[in-house]
Structure 1
């Protein structure tokens, strides 16, 4: 996991929990947001793009985002916000989904919908495995918003089976 990110004159330095340097990324005109150990998301303000890097500093993808703010990375999906609109970019499907789930689904071809359901199922499996591990370690007592997360998971389950 990432423990700290230093903004230096020419680059970002990313360190793990033992304060070992795990990555160096160029930072000219960029803001870095780090999530777990899987992705580094860089918002390049000069070019209006979000670039997604893996821990080895290899660029995985980039998306035009105008004035959006990166909210989080969940598995292969990047969640960004522009005002009240929520958008997510799924690297697997190479698609940008806008406003809400209904609008996103309406844009999909039949095969893309099958791929999205498969991707959603994989995301749910990862989340459920994490929930099981959390239950074993009694982490739930530290998560007052768990009911909100559970409601969201239920909604995702419904969408993936529709």
Structure 2
């Protein structure tokens, strides 16, 4: 295990990060070459606009080949910081405009790599939200909105199976 100290003063990757029974920690899994390669293919396929740095998805693969070691080092050390998002405004189909935040393609790559590892871990704890014409989002008397068909079950207690 690395004992690199991050900016918060704690270890970026410690024994607590390792899940018992797994050969790698979650951090190591999301940074594995196979996972980062899958994430890169997904970001390239999604295309999308460049972020504040102006890098396109076509430029990402060559840039990664040259700079991945430094990015990986910053991620391992806990010192990597995403770039600010680029603000964009797009037209709505029915008129008006919608504001968007466009992250850099490198930040999208890292987000995708993390999501590919975390989604299978956490998705089993969520019930699918089923929205039918009779159960659309409802406004309560207080003016807040609720979706009556969405339920988040509690994780199983230690020693219980799902």
TM-score by length of 1: 0.25
Please identify which structure carries the higher helix content: 2
TM-score by length of 2: 0.25
Name which one, 1 or 2, has greater alpha-carbon Rg: 2
Please identify which structure carries the higher strand content: 1
